[in-house]
Amino acid sequence: MLRLYGALIGLSLIWGLSFVFMKWLLPPAGIWGIVFLRCLAGAVVLLPILWWKRSEINWKLPWKALVVVGIFNCGLAWGLIALSETEINSSTASILNATTPIWTGIIGFIIFSYVLTARQWMGILIGFFGILVLMDFQVGQLFGKEFIGIGT
């Protein structure tokens, strides 16, 4: 159990500090410089693993499609997060990013007619309540001067 909690704490630090580092790097590197540095950091970590597992990899993957998905899922998303941090602070950006699973469930239900279980709906409600707690129940902040940063 200690190992699981250690992994959770480590992942929380890595995930949360990425928003702090983005805020620090924004003035010298710019928005797309941050995207490049995040992609470079990912490549530095993953390329040795790719080299080590090269004999087990199915090289007939649809690489072009994977590159397109990578550009939109990572490059564009990280660019928009960096852009939003020009208007909002890091903690707000990380809280908004944490809503991704919530919005995925809602969009899947509304647009794709995906049937959510009672447990999934409960998770969405708990997630929204958690966001309200983190916002100190001041929903009006969403529509203040930081609205552009939040909308990005």
For the chain, the structural domain boundaries read 1-88, 99-152
The count of residues in the chain is 152
Specify whether the CB–CB gap between 74 and 36 falls below 8 A: no
Specify whether the CB–CB gap between 150 and 92 falls below 8 A: yes
Specify whether the CB–CB gap between 24 and 85 falls below 8 A: no
Give the mean pLDDT of the chain: 84
pTM of this structure: 0.68
Is residue 149 pLDDT above 80, yes or no? Answer: no
The DSSP annotation for 8-63 comes to HHHHHHHHHHHHHHHHHHHHHH-HHHHHHHHHHHHHHHHHHHHHHTGGG--TTS-H
Q: Please write the tens of the pLDDT for every residue from 26-51.
A: 999 999 999 999 889 889 999 999 89
- pLDDT for 101: 86
**Measured distance CA(101)–CA(124) in Å, rounded:** 8
